[in-house]
A and B are shown apart, each in its own frame.
Chain A
Amino acid sequence: MEAALLEVAGITKWYGEQRALANVSFDIRRGEILGLIGPNGSGKTTLLETIAGLLPIDAGNVLWQHSSLPENRRREVVFYLPDGVRPWDGQHVIRVLEFFARAFGRPAAELDEVTRSVGLEPVLGKRVCVLSKGYAHRLTLALALLTPHPVLLMDEPFDGFDIRQTREIMNLMRRVAAHGRTFTLAIHQLADAEHVCDRFILLADGRVCGIGSLDDLRAGIGQTTARLEDVFLALT
């Protein structure tokens, strides 16, 4: 089994009187696509933002290759792509892509490759604010792929894509993961998750209800042919 790259150890997060995450622990392995599965309000976004160091936590720790990774150093290894952002929406798409590539010191050839791989060529001359939801999502996906971080955390990466586009993006993620990058995807569409993820973390009410590959989870509930949807309902 691949060794843990990043470990989440007992993260707890409160919003005032409401507990959003309760002692959440799991690990992320090199080159895998990990699915964070749960209904709306289960704590997926909160969990990703705490791992990325964008939300302070009340308890717990994040380890990088078994060493503690303080909040201010998370951005050295983890890049988090939030859901529904339209970054720098007054600027043209090509300018935003070039800015990210230059900021992270990526060569022009890589910018070309990423632009093509997510299919942004038709909108490079448009302003971000006029992009459709799908293209806005492709843009943010391209920004994430332009970063050099070993671990990418993505919140609802398939939102706004049709079935064909979703498949394209999934194939792209698979290719990227094959080169050693790790994805952690917060997904509420279980069919999408089942299709792309290697392992799953089932989250309900801020608590982990199950961890493992689909086969592991099936074995856990004693149904060898169950779909992820059935497994999730059985475990939560």
Chain B
Amino acid sequence: MRSPDAVTVRRAPLRPLLAKEVGELLSGRALWTMLLILCPLVGYSFFQAVALYGEASAAARDQPQLATSLSPLDGILVPTFGAFYITVTLLFPFVAIRVLGREKETGALKLLVQLPHQIPILVAAKLAAVTVAWLIGLIPAATALLLWLWFGGHLNALETSNLLLGHLLYGVLIGAIALFAAAISDNSATAAIVTLGFTIGSWVLDFALAGQSGTLGWISHLSLTQALRTFEQGLFSAALVLGMCAAIVGFATLAAIWLHPGTSLHKRLTRTILCVGLAGVLLAVATQLRKSSDLSEDKRNSFPAADQRALARLKQPLIITVHLAPEDPRYVDLQRNVLSKLERIVPNVTIRLVTAGQSVIGSAGEESYGEIEYSYGGHSAKSRSTSHREALPLIYGLAGIPVPTPEPGEDYPGYPLVADGWIALPWFFVALPLLIAVAWWWNRRPPRIPAQFAKNGGQL
């Protein structure tokens, strides 16, 4: 037997830790069960999406102008990934909680925190393993995209990557929340309740506060579901990405703060307050970022290119006063068609919602209700239209610049496709689950025992 080493523990390698964390995930049933559930869910969503897309495409044969509204992002990607989103929301927390919860339940946590790694490194390794689990969970949805390409379907690389990025950030955020929940909970069941409180709480926020303005509206923006919608619209928002990254780092840091059993409650609480404060500052900074890119192939988040260039040159403040209740469908239209696009492109724009806090019924009697007033350079003009075709000429008139001439060839062609989605069903309901079951069995095989032990009867 060797003599003990010097006082300091050596710098620890990361690879064995990562391998251990991924091994832990693969050795549990949670990940494999989630994968098996994902197959029929994603498969049926994909099959239905292909069928509906095919019906719409068939109609476009007779009326070619309908083809321009056929986008694979809306027709195939979003519905297929919708099933993935539901599974990640409801089942992925159980996979992620296991990464830490099992160690708490078996007492292995006391060994873990004595490893020669810093606590943040331990948590980072767990988060990396959670990310690997998310990537494995992506397999059914990824095969759906490959099937779509095999059918002859079209996928735009940028908007597809953007959607995948959104789902990745959402999945890792759920994982970070689950790690935090596992760190503060005595057992996995409590951790699951805490995590589902966040995820299902997001749905409640969505249903209860959607369309509200003011503080309630701000709270509704904290919904995790809302975050994903931006990516589903083909928009890459720097503020959103930074905000989600800040939330991931924040929850992971909280998990690190609460992980070590030797830290006193007073220290944990102090550090928690500091962490929440810092994350809050980061989130506040993130909301100030206006940089965003419209990665959708049909440029649905932007005005036509000539208008974009003209609007970007407006240097003076553009003030838009809207006399509509937030839940009024006209306001939703205006927001989608005009306001959100103006906010992205005009350097200095302020939007005032005059009827904030009032309902449609309470405000509809007012004469000014429904008016949208545009003010620029000391001039103002009013309109009741929610279309950019009327709003933009008004703004150009106020700014004293000519209406730009539309550029030819920038219309989105649309990608109609009538495909037989039936072929996907045996893949998602039989072949892929079978492959997953085989991979599960393969993973459970005993490892090869080194020869020196095998000789002594080590291999069972």
Which A residues are CB-close (under 8 A) to B9? 75-76, 104, 148-149
Residues from 63 to 95 in A contacting B, C-beta threshold 8 Å:
64, 71, 75-77, 79-82, 84-92, 94-95
Is B261 in the interface zone, CB < 8 Å from A? yes
Complex contact A104–B10 (CB within 8 A): yes
Complex contact A110–B8 (CB within 8 A): no
What is the distance, in angstroms, from A96's C-beta to the closest C-beta of chain B?
A: 8
Closest residue of B by beta carbon distance from A53: B262
Which A residues are CB-close (under 8 A) to B449? 94, 124-125
Cβ 8 A contact of A126, one of B106, B110, B262, B460? B460
Is B20 in the interface zone, CB < 8 Å from A? yes
Q: How far is the CA of A112 from the CA of B2 in the complex (A)?
A: 13
Q: How far is the CA of A92 from the CA of B23 in the complex (A)?
A: 10
Closest residue of B by beta carbon distance from A86: B106
Interface residue range, chain A: 35 or more
Complex contact A103–B3 (CB within 8 A): no
What is the distance, in angstroms, from B261's C-beta to the closest C-beta of chain A?
A: 5
Q: How far is the CA of A182 from the CA of B7 in the complex (A)?
A: 13
Complex contact B4–A56 (CB within 8 A): no
Q: How far is the CA of A56 from the CA of B263 in the complex (A)?
A: 6
Cβ 8 A contact of B7, one of A49, A52, A76, A87? A76
Cβ 8 A contact of B5, one of A91, A92, A148? A148
Residues from 148 to 205 in B contacting A, C-beta threshold 8 Å:
none
Complex contact A92–B446 (CB within 8 A): yes
Cβ 8 A contact of A88, one of B1, B108, B458? B108
Q: How far is the CA of A58 from the CA of B102 in the complex (A)?
A: 29
What is the distance, in angstroms, from A194's C-beta to the closest C-beta of chain B?
A: 24
Is A176 in the interface zone, CB < 8 Å from B? yes
A-B contact count (CB 8 A): 153
Which B residues are CB-close (under 8 A) to A94? 447, 449-450, 453
Is A215 in the interface zone, CB < 8 Å from B? no
Residues from 1 to 36 in B contacting A, C-beta threshold 8 Å:
1-5, 7-10, 12-13, 15-17, 19-20, 23-24, 27-28
Q: How far is the CA of A76 from the CA of B10 in the complex (A)?
A: 9
Residues from 201 to 218 in B contacting A, C-beta threshold 8 Å:
none
Cβ 8 A contact of A87, one of B12, B19, B111? B111
Closest residue of A by beta carbon distance from B453: A121
Which A residues are CB-close (under 8 A) to B102? 89-90
Mostly, the A contact residues are mixed
Closest residue of B by beta carbon distance from A84: B107
Which A residues are CB-close (under 8 A) to B288? none
Residues from 242 to 297 in B contacting A, C-beta threshold 8 Å:
260-265
Is B113 in the interface zone, CB < 8 Å from A? yes
Is B405 in the interface zone, CB < 8 Å from A? no
Is B457 in the interface zone, CB < 8 Å from A? yes
Q: How far is the CA of A84 from the CA of B108 in the complex (A)?
A: 10
Q: How far is the CA of A80 from the CA of B111 in the complex (A)?
A: 8
Is B63 in the interface zone, CB < 8 Å from A? no
Is B459 in the interface zone, CB < 8 Å from A? yes
Complex contact B262–A148 (CB within 8 A): no
Complex contact B13–A102 (CB within 8 A): yes
Contact with A along B221-257 (1 / 0, CB 8 A): 0000000000000000000000000000000000000
Q: How far is the CA of A180 from the CA of B10 in the complex (A)?
A: 19
Complex contact A104–B457 (CB within 8 A): no
Interface residue range, chain B: 35 or more
Closest residue of B by beta carbon distance from A98: B16
Complex contact B3–A85 (CB within 8 A): no
Complex contact A115–B453 (CB within 8 A): yes
Is A105 in the interface zone, CB < 8 Å from B? yes
Which B residues are CB-close (under 8 A) to A179? 1-4
Q: How far is the CA of A127 from the CA of B8 in the complex (A)?
A: 32
Which B residues are CB-close (under 8 A) to A147? 114
Given contacts A122-B460, A175-B1, contact A85 B13 (CB under 8 A): no
Contact with B along A130-163 (1 / 0, CB 8 A): 0000000000000101011110000000000000
What is the distance, in angstroms, from A216's C-beta to the closest C-beta of chain B?
A: 26
Is A55 in the interface zone, CB < 8 Å from B? yes
Q: How far is the CA of A129 from the CA of B27 in the complex (A)?
A: 11
Complex contact B23–A91 (CB within 8 A): yes
Is B439 in the interface zone, CB < 8 Å from A? no
Complex contact A105–B10 (CB within 8 A): yes
Which B residues are CB-close (under 8 A) to A230? none
Complex contact B107–A103 (CB within 8 A): no
Which B residues are CB-close (under 8 A) to A54? 110, 113-114, 260-262
Complex contact B116–A52 (CB within 8 A): no
Q: How far is the CA of A110 from the CA of B363 in the complex (A)?
A: 80
Cβ 8 A contact of A112, one of B27, B117, B452? B452
The 10 sampled A-B contact pairs (Cβ below 8 Å) are: A55-B261, A75-B113, A87-B111, A99-B20, A112-B452, A121-B456, A122-B457, A149-B9, A179-B4, A180-B3
8 smallest CB-CB distances across A and B, nearest first, come from A90-B27, A85-B107, A148-B5, A102-B16, A150-B4, A87-B108, A125-B446, A56-B264
What residues make up the interface of A, taking CB atoms closer than 8 Å to B?
49, 52-56, 64, 71, 75-77, 79-82, 84-92, 94-95, 98-99, 102-105, 110, 112-113, 115, 117, 121-127, 143, 145, 147-150, 175-176, 178-182
Add 18 more A-B contacts to A71-B263, A125-B447 (CB < 8 A): A54-B113, A76-B8, A76-B9, A80-B114, A86-B108, A91-B27, A94-B453, A95-B447, A99-B17, A99-B19, A103-B16, A103-B116, A117-B1, A121-B458, A125-B459, A176-B1, A179-B2, A181-B3
